[in-house]
């Protein structure tokens, strides 16, 4: 019978705490920036015509969800992204979907009457800055979620790939 040793030395503790610290920083850093942005907007350190308080952006997002405007624009963009991914081919899906999201938004800015890109461009041209930030945040959230899904899919499909 052999005895297994468990690594409980200072190196293991330091590695675990560094990993935990990095994860906390990944969560706390964006939240701290949002709080700083909110405070700067509230106390007049930044021009809220161009950088509205995050609470104002969230309020606009809720209103746009209530009216269905944000859902409509998001659905149109996602439909276009899906068509582009299907036409682009499944093998290029993992590489192309992130770029596709950006390109769809840019194309909608130029030649569409709906979609998140259109929403961002239209809001920018009419100085509806809160709506512009809503569109940017929704694209960022969609990109983040797609990245999470594709990373998980890659982990399942290619388990031998080292991280």
| Per-domain boundaries in the chain | 1-46, 51-157
**CB distance 118 to 41 below 8 Å:** no
Q: Does the pLDDT at position 162 exceed 70?
A: no
Q: What is the pLDDT of residues 23-65, one digit of tens each?
A: 888 889 999 999 999 999 999 999 999 999 999 999 999 999 9
Give the residue among 96, 97, 132, 129 at the shortest CA–CA distance from 117: 132
Residue 84 and residue 111: Cα distance in Å, rounded? 16
**CB distance 109 to 132 below 8 Å:** no
Residue 56 and residue 132: Cα distance in Å, rounded? 12
Q: Whole-model pTM?
A: 0.55
């Amino acid at each position: 019978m052999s005895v297994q040793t468990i690594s409980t030395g200072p190196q293991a503790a330091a590695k675990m705490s560094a990993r935990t610290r990095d994860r906390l920083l990944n969560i706390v850093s964006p939240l701290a920036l949002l709080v700083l942005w909110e405070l700067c907007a509230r106390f007049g350190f930044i021009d809220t015509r161009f950088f509205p308080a995050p609470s104002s952006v969230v309020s606009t997002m809720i209103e746009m969800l209530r009216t269905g405007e944000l859902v409509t624009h998001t659905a149109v963009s996602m439909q276009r992204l899906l068509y582009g991914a299907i036409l682009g081919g499944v093998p290029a899906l993992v590489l192309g979907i992130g770029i596709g999201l950006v390109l769809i938004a840019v194309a909608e800015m130029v030649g569409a009457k709906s979609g998140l890109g259109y929403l961002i461009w239209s809001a920018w041209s009419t100085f509806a800055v809160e709506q512009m930030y809503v569109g940017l945040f929704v694209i960022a959230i969609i990109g983040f979620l797609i990245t999470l899904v594709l990373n998980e899919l890659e982990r399942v499909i290619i388990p031998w790939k080292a991280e």
